[in-house]
Amino acid sequence: MSIEGMWDALKDDYGVSEQTLQVVTNINGYSTDTMHDVLYAVAAERHFDGEVA
């Protein structure tokens, strides 16, 4: 899954606001690691649906 797909999934599927994602990525960087960290914080999941572990 692309980083853009992760961003969209966090917003659309997990209810994370655009503002929250902007703040977190401004602090931690715009990376797949950051997207995974947000996913874990909001859903206690390590991987997005369809992502190979």
Instruction: Tell me whether residue 35 is in a domain.
Output: yes
Instruction: Tell me whether residue 28 is in a domain.
Output: yes
Residue 26 lies in domain: 3-43
Instruction: Tell me whether residue 15 is in a domain.
Output: yes
- The pTM (predicted TM-score) of the whole model is 0.90
SS3 label, residue 4: helix
Instruction: Tell me whether residue 51 is in a domain.
Output: no
Instruction: Tell me whether residue 48 is in a domain.
Output: no
Structurally, the chain folds into a number of domains equal to 1
DSSP calls for 13-48: TT---HHHHHHHHHHH-SSHHHHHHHHHHHH--SS-
Q: Please report, in tens digits, the pLDDT of each residue of the chain (53 residues total).
A: 999 999 999 999 999 999 999 999 999 999 999 999 999 999 999 999 877 66
